Structure 1
């Protein structure tokens, strides 16, 4: 019987995590990508309605402020990019409130990097190189799979992911054992896509292989550029191995006015749906206005990666002390 003070993972898993972090750092050192640290306790927080966050009072003499634990280091890293840092990466903790389950712990480890001058395709090629290096000698991955979101969604569901037809989506849901989606999703295209993708597409992606899905619908990507050839899509990619979502990357949006518009849209959605109020990051917007270099970036969940490398079935198995035992 395990006592409450004992770690949830084995000493072997602790060593595997240390090896993984060392390999990641070696990979980026070889490519002369600078490792950075940015604050995890900040004055602002992301506006994405799908993410909840932790806030805390900060006590100062004669005043009190509210600070936020970051759901990702993205905004601060982009401020460094705008200041001329060049290509950078970071391994850090991130925090998301209300997330718990097989693949979720409210405090988790994130690898995030940005490559100045890279297109999304060049970033995807580097992702494939990193994964090949990390899995070599452990669980060899088969040939990489790369497919557009629209083609994948059509192949798996018969639906057009870029053009929303409420009647078609409802008919699909009822015919495929998902009748609850009709009331849950309403006429929100983005919610429909998330629901159907998570239930009928994602579980089948990347069987012993790295699957990279690109070209996400524009309604789902608040931080990516619209595709130059098809404005119904964005230059966004997500990574999957054995049905597990590992990472989310973009050809980064650099237009401050457009980013501000998207933030305001998400803040309005939060108000309309009685979600916790968020604080728009004015420092990020100022950095974008000063000039963000053309770059592509991605965040990858290190704990989920460790789950795959160690054949673990629950995120608690790769954490020293998950939230239930912290």
Structure 2
């Protein structure tokens, strides 16, 4: 056991300066800082994320199950639907996953929403923030299809399960769980992580946009090419930094996607999750056209300072909290 922090005083001062730089960035653009609850009655249905549950029992009147938020997305969208304009938040987020060099169950997330922005508009703004905070001269932008073809010679928008399995086997990484999957997206994600991510964003941050529509998450579908969604991510030196969308505003389509998530969860033998009714009610009221993005602050600061692990830029990790 150790009671001491994992981040030293000199690093703490540098972290504070970077956070100040980020706040100045948004202040200069009239994007307003907000706060939303870290514990909410609803949570995500995402098959790849597990929330941490907090059981709240006031005066022993019965346990009220609350969820530590995996991101501030749903409550921030409720603000937008109520009339708020462009907003940002630097918030604690919580995910029930193992600690590691790039992961801690409790971490700091920067999330912001820009009314009237297209996906391209937001990529440009994220790029400006990264140039300022990472001291890089520029960023790179590629489509998912282009990056996939360049590093695997597979077209992710036209490939098949059999073709992906053959590629993985050819490169000596085929495992039983991959052979057993019936999800093309699972194989595409595995191939992307193994053969694309290590090759992109090594000198400057690299934005990958227009993911397959089956990986749309909460993004709109491209009106010119229904095979892809208006979603982007950004990678730098092997680290995923950013996940952004031109946001889905249609209540019925969002409900269908939540149902698809729960269907997948059932097929995986995982527990299904109730839909966040307050978020759906906000969509029914009307979420304005906007684009939004989430950025891992601890990872950004780690890269900006040339550190090897996010534990070096956090006062206490969960293991030592």
TM-score strictly above 0.5: yes
* Equivalent of 1:22 in 12, 20, 23: 20
1:229 maps to what in 2?
224
Corresponding residue of 2:122: 123
Instruction: Tell me, yes or no, if the aligned pair for 1:142 and 1:210 is still in contact at 8 Å.
Output: no
1:182: Cα distance to partner?
6.3
After superposition, residues 282-321 of structure 1 pair within 5 angstroms as 282-321=277-316
Which of 7, 10, 13 does residue 8 from structure 2 map onto?
A: 10
SS at match of 1:63: coil
C-alpha distance in structure 2 between counterparts of 1:15 and 1:84, whole Å: 36
Correspondence list, 1:85-100, <5 A: 85-100=84-99
C-alpha change, 1:54 and 1:182, in structure 2 (3 Å) is closer
- Measured after TM superposition, the shift of residue 142 of structure 1 is 4.1
Q: Kindly state the Cα deviation for residue 232 of structure 1 after the two structures are TM-superposed.
A: 1.1
1:192 counterpart = 2:187: yes
* Residue correspondence of structure 1 range 1-326 to structure 2 within 5 A: 4-61=2-59, 62-135=61-134, 140-180=135-175, 183=178, 186-326=181-321
Q: CA deviation at 1:173?
A: 0.3
The CA deviation at 1:219 is 1.3
Partners in 1 of 2:105 and 2:272 — Cα distance? 19
Compared CA separation, residues 181 and 225, structure 1 to 2 (3 A): farther
Q: Is the 8 A contact 1:224 1:251 kept in 2?
A: yes
Query: What value does the CA root-mean-square deviation take over the aligned residues?
Result: 1.4
Deviation at 1:13, TM superposition (A): 1.1
Give, in angstroms, the shift of residue 184 of structure 1. Answer: 5.4
Mapped partners of 2:180, 2:240: distance in 1: 22
Q: Cα distance, 1:278 vs. partner?
A: 2.1
Conserved? CA contact 1:181–1:195, under 8 Å: no
Tell me, yes or no, if the aligned pair for 1:142 and 1:208 is still in contact at 8 Å. Answer: no
Structure 1 distance, partners of 2:180, 2:253, is 26
* Pairs aligned (count): 320
Please report the TM-score for the alignment, with normalisation by the length of structure 2. 0.96
2:230 and 2:179 mapped to 1: Cα distance?
A: 28
For residues 184-233 of structure 1, the C-alpha deviation after alignment (integer angstroms, 9 at most, x for no partner) is: 56220111111111111111211120110000011112200001111111
Query: Cα 1:240–1:183, aligned 2, differ >3 Å: closer, same or farther?
Result: closer
Deviation at 1:60, TM superposition (A): 3.3
8 A contact 1:173–1:181 mirrored in 2: no
> What secondary structure does 1:110 align onto?
strand
In structure 2, the CA distance between the partners of 1:66 and 1:182, relative to structure 1 (3 Å rule), is: closer
Q: Give, in whole Å, the separation in 1 of the partners of 2:223 and 2:294.
A: 23
For residues 18-60 of structure 1, the C-alpha deviation after alignment (integer angstroms, 9 at most, x for no partner) is 0111111101011110100000100010110000110021113
Q: Whole-Å Cα distance in 2 between the matches of residues 86 and 308 of structure 1?
A: 31
- Name whichever of 183-192 and 238-247 sits farther off: 183-192
- Distance (whole Å) between structure 1 residues aligned to residue 158 and residue 180 of structure 2: 16
Tell me how far apart the structure 1 counterparts of residues 98 and 227 of structure 2 sit (CA, whole Å). Answer: 30
- CA distance in 2 between counterparts of 1:98 and 1:204 reads 26
- Does the residue aligned with 1:60 lie in a helix, a strand or coil? coil
Query: Is the 2:41–2:67 contact (alpha carbons within 8 Å) kept by the matching residues of 1?
Result: yes
Distance in 1, matches of 2:7 and 2:58, equals: 39
| Deviation of the 1:169 alpha carbon | 0.7
| Cα deviation, residue 177, structure 1 | 2.0
Deviation readout 1:44-78 (Å, 9 max, x if unpaired): 10110000110021113432211000000000000
CA distance in structure 2 between the partners assigned to 1:158 and 1:213 by the alignment: 17
Return 5+ residue gaps in structure 2 as ranges. Answer: none
In 2, Cα distance between equivalents of 1:185 and 1:43: 35
Q: Distance in 2 between matches of 1:250 and 1:163?
A: 23
